[in-house]
Amino acid sequence: MQEIADNLARIRERIAAAAAKSGRKVEEILLVAVSKGVEPKRIEQAIEAGVTDLGENYLQEAIGKKAQVKSKARWHFIGHLQRNKVNAALEEFSLIQSVDSLKLAQEMSRRAAAAGKTAQILLQVNTSSETSKFGVAPEETRRLVEEIAILPGLSLQGLMTIGRFEPDPEAARGEFRLLSQIFREISQLNLPNLTMRLLSMGMTHDFEVAIEEGANLVRIGTGIFGPRRQRQ
């Protein structure tokens, strides 16, 4: 447990420094500990060390672990979500960060409305234009936000992106800056079901740059839990 607690303390120090550098308070930054590939015991240790929010990439893995983790936390889904798994995702997660198409949003709307729920979501934007990544194109973001905002059963809480993975974290700065600009522009729209309170950018290797460019939610796994074994 001490290893995780020490890692978490170091990450929080770095978040505080990045927030201060950008003239913001550390309390404005939400840390989501990415727990994919992490066993329930170590997730419990992270929660005991102060983690309040957990992020998972794979639905079935998350469902299995959630049943074993007894400590309370908010669970975020941050991986690619297939439309045939929407019901399960709505049951298991407080926030789905990876809505990447109108069709997925429509399916979530239909399922949530039928269950009498309001699903909190983020729209994933592919700011790097890499074909290996999901997400809407930056130039399509506003149009899609306008279409999602009128769907019942959904509450659009903000935007999410994954920066390009390069040895130098500065490589992603332009992408984070772009999404921050889009975020500010969309925040000015007077649309229903639109809150725009969360800008989810940055992971272990680039979260400081993301915070400097406006992120108020960072997703950190390796920096807290250490390297995980590769998924087979």
Per residue of the chain (232 residues), give pLDDT as tens: 699 999 999 999 999 999 999 999 999 999 999 999 999 999 999 999 999 999 999 999 999 999 999 999 999 999 999 999 999 999 999 999 999 999 999 999 999 999 999 999 999 999 999 999 999 999 999 999 999 999 999 999 999 999 998 989 999 999 999 999 999 999 999 999 999 999 999 999 999 999 999 999 999 999 999 987 655 4
Q: So where are the chain's domains?
A: 2-224
**pTM of structure:** 0.95
Nearest residue to 124 (alpha-carbon basis) of 220, 217, 38, 62: 217
Classify domain 2-224 at the CATH superfamily level: Alanine racemase (3.20.20.10)
